[in-house]
A and B are shown apart, each in its own frame.
Chain A
Amino acid sequence: MNQIRFLDPRPDIVARRDEIRAGLAELVPADCLVTEERELVPFETDAFTAYRRVPLAVVLPETTEQVAAVMKYCSANGVPVIPRGAGTSLAGGAIPQEDAVVIGVSKMSRILEIDFENRTARVQAGVTNLRISDEVSADGFFYAPDPSSQLACTIAGNIGMNSGGAHCLKYGVTTNNLLGVKMVLQDGTVIELGGKALDAEGYDLLGLVCGSEGQLGIITEAVVRLIAKPEGARPVLFGFDSSEVAGACVADIIGEGIIPVAIEFMDKPAIDICEAFAHAGYPMDVEALLIVEVEGSDDEMDAMLKKIIAIARKHDVKRVKESQSAMEAATIWKGRKSAFGATGRVADYICMDGTVPLGQLSHVLRETSNIVDRYGLRVANVFHAGDGNMHPLILYNVNDPEEAEKAEAAGAEILKLCVDAGGCLTGEHGVGIEKRDLMLHQFTETDLNQQMRVRAAFDPSWLLNPSKVFPLDLEMRKAN
């Protein structure tokens, strides 16, 4: 496999390892500092497991003040810092290196305030995504962004990557649901951006921080928007004879003025894999499947589904399956939400995350299949069709180095295809180390230099989450 490079660990920092560990030990309680080699291993990678680097130390602070003290120390000593949520990044956004201190927010996991009247929740950044919805569900509210890893992933990580999910067609992604943060800058300064008001004053630094992949600071608290739950939600399944027809149906539903809460797409290989795993009752005699979910009261959903089904019929839909109960609805979603896990049971895979304009769906699906064919590999497509966020899963055997290399090359071609179709490299997983070196396909060097100058306004010494997002040679030039 073509190894993704990292910046060389700074020898002077590695040589001072014991001194730095001792310095950190003075700043946080003993149980918040990990330095034992064996205990550092779980922090050597995230969900992009092909790459592993054992960090110099891991700090798991309990307060913003502790984060600030550690950041100040690292800043003064020139030590790189890797922010970490739950380590679920699919792009290698939290992979450390030998000269770096990982600051994990997992111990800061309290919900600080629920305010139903203003529809906000103030939480510590290590709280998991799903916990917020669980906390407010009984009162009829939820937190909208719902990445597939929502059981484990933290709000800090969600903010770092600007995470999305299946339901963002209607409710938006993290940046649209985030009202404020408390964060620690690289030099240890604590700042607050935004709050309970809908808009913040001055430049939209909150919008800049969201999705900055841990390179602008460490988030320790967040104020997020709560939304009143709909009366009910109901998915309907459509089976089509071809992916192209399914893609055209998506464009028509939206063109007709209907915005369902979610439109999910699966092709035949994905249907086979998910059905074998989840027994969701997916039709097996079709080439493509859409899960379209609507919300509202029974009457509203009936009216909306009637319109949607009429559009699907115009596209010669082969199978229509309306869920009749909450349990059936849950099963339909279980199949979709377990897609990545179920695929992992039948083969190793790499998951791409490009987004394309909706009008390009059919074209990109066809070309994706051509690319993967050319490499003699298989692909399963399961993705958020309503917002054009594709997730081709390229299947390969991780123990076959030649196949692994082919998979990576096919993946890169698919991402370039997405960009060339008017889209982007990543819709919700982030750039991390994974797509870093493809950035020059989407952006010019001038574009990236501008982004890097803005990044440097937060972190002039380039110590926060190095080796991520920007092509390595650009970063090295900037850091020197």
Chain B
Amino acid sequence: MATETVAPACEEEAAEIVREAAAKGIHLEIAGGGTKRGIGQIFQADRLLSTAGLTGISHYDPAELVLTARAGTPVAEIEAALAENGQMLAFEPGDWRGLFGANGIPTIGALAAANISGPRRLIAGAARDALLGVRFVNGAGEVIKNGGRVMKNVTGLDLVKLMAGSWGTLGLVTEVSFKVLPRAETETTLVIHGAHEDEAANLMAAAMGTSAEVSGAAHLPESVAKRSGLDGGSATVLRLEGFPESVAARLGRLKAALRSAANASEMDETASKSLWADIRDVAPFAGTMKPLWKISVAPLAGHDVAAMILREVRGEAFHDWQGGLVWLQLDEEGDASAGIVRSAVAKCGGGHATLIRAAEDIRAVTPVFQPQAAPVAALAERVRAALDPAGIFNPGKMVWNGGRKAA
């Protein structure tokens, strides 16, 4: 990792730094608050290019449902401004500091670059769906604008989506525009106690098939449920948000549709909020360095994937996104069991698994991101080179090089 840090105070200064780096072949590590630096392959960089100096909300008119901010703006500052106006980032981004024991300040640019979405992603879309526009500095040091601050925009190629989830390997994001939505007036959570994994999968699928507009569907096995204060065995939790009249009406419909689940209870707004914050932040697996996998599969396949892996290695898992997102933590710190994890994903209909957390020596010998089919990997590399021809941004962070030392 880089030792020297540069923190430009404006976009043009950032572009100048990149131009110099491109000319001299200087490799740059891009970071905001540095709270997610531990994610990805190990790579070498000469300088750390920080967005810490690029801060502030540049445009926010609540009636437009769009907020524009510079990349280094703390997420907390943005959430506070939105809350003041009864609005929110609907994709419910998690705060992953607990996962890494990080002390930095998460920034809005990093949320975009990592495409981090929480439980509501199931019905409200991911960070990439809410991201309407970006400004970024490409590998040649040119400032590029793409998208905008309107909700419907099909003008030109959508590089906004490309920047979301690119982990700083395509450019330095300097400004982002996110679509925002009104906060729900209230929420409640229906908890079904003691359902087996497969039974829970069916319950969640049934719930999502109703008109109740469930905005969070997760399953916590007994050990995980306990840590969030839920007794009575495993917990299958279904969240409803909206106006009080609407939430009450939909809760009625949901309960009617899930009559078979006899052992159920409801959570009040405060308890519900706290539970979903835990799920959002992956709190059950915080405070350790045990390997943590984020597995994305078809919702109904989630429990099969987890069961298949946990038959071979010790650990525990919980399921968000109706089962489509499996958070799986392994007990053994020294082995990520990537082969077992990815073969289970492949056997259960496909998807992908990312090693979100593991010690450096584990990541040095493990493909952190899901390896892609050869033609797709080749295409992705051509796309990367179209944005950063000299390969100066986070070089190798997303690409597995077979465990060889980065050049």
Contact residues of A with B, CB < 8 Å? 115-120, 140-141, 161-162, 164, 168-169, 172-173, 175-176, 185, 189-193, 195-208, 210-212, 228-231, 251-252, 254-259, 296-297, 299-300, 303-304, 355-359, 384, 387-389, 422-431, 435, 439, 442-444, 446-448, 450-451, 453-458, 469
Contacts and interface: CB of A to CB of B under 8 A. Distances in A.
Contact of B155 (A196, A387, A424, A446): A424
A207 B152 contact: no
A456 B386 contact: yes
B324 A208 contact: no
Contacts of B145: 443-444, 447
Closest 9 CB pairs of A and B: A207-B161, A257-B182, A196-B298, A201-B352, A427-B152, A457-B382, A255-B63, A201-B370, A197-B351
29 contacts: A193-B376, A201-B296, A202-B370, A203-B384, A207-B160, A207-B161, A208-B159, A208-B161, A228-B208, A228-B209, A229-B211, A252-B63, A255-B62, A257-B185, A296-B249, A296-B250, A297-B211, A299-B249, A358-B64, A359-B63, A387-B150, A435-B155, A443-B156, A451-B146, A451-B157, A451-B159, A454-B383, A454-B387, A457-B382
Nearest to B153: A424
Nearest to B181: A259
Identify which of A189, A208, A357 gathers the most chain B CB atoms within 10 Å of its CB.
Answer: A357
Given A192-B376, A296-B211, A355-B150, 6 more contacts: A120-B298, A191-B379, A297-B250, A303-B243, A422-B149, A424-B155
A231 to B, nearest CB: 5
Contact of A204 (B64, B165, B208, B377): B165
B321 interface: yes
Given A201-B354, A431-B156, A116 B126 contact: no
Counting chain B residues whose Cβ lies within 8 A of the other chain, the interface size class is 35 or more
B4 interface: no
Contact of B164 (A207, A387, A439, A450): A207
B125 interface: yes
B152 A387 contact: yes
B34 to A, nearest CB: 23
A447 B146 contact: yes
A162 B156 CA distance: 11
A450 B158 contact: no
B402 interface: no
A431 B65 contact: no
Contacts of A173: 152, 154
Q: Report whether over half of chain B's contact residues are helix, strand or loop; otherwise say mixed.
A: mixed
B243 A358 contact: no
Interface of B: 61-66, 86-87, 115, 117, 121-122, 125-126, 128-129, 138, 142-146, 148-162, 164-166, 170, 181-183, 185, 202, 205, 208-211, 213, 243, 245-246, 249-250, 253, 296-301, 321, 324-325, 349-352, 354, 369-370, 372-373, 375-377, 379-380, 382-387, 398
B397 to A, nearest CB: 12
B63 A251 contact: yes
A303 B246 contact: yes
A120 B210 CA distance: 15
Given A208-B161, A423-B148, A202 B351 contact: no
A204 B164 contact: yes
A228 B158 contact: no
Nearest to B129: A176
A356 to B, nearest CB: 7
A479 to B, nearest CB: 16
A457 B155 contact: no
B151 A388 contact: yes
A28 B210 CA distance: 45
A357 B383 CA distance: 31
Nearest to B125: A176
Contacts of A356: 150
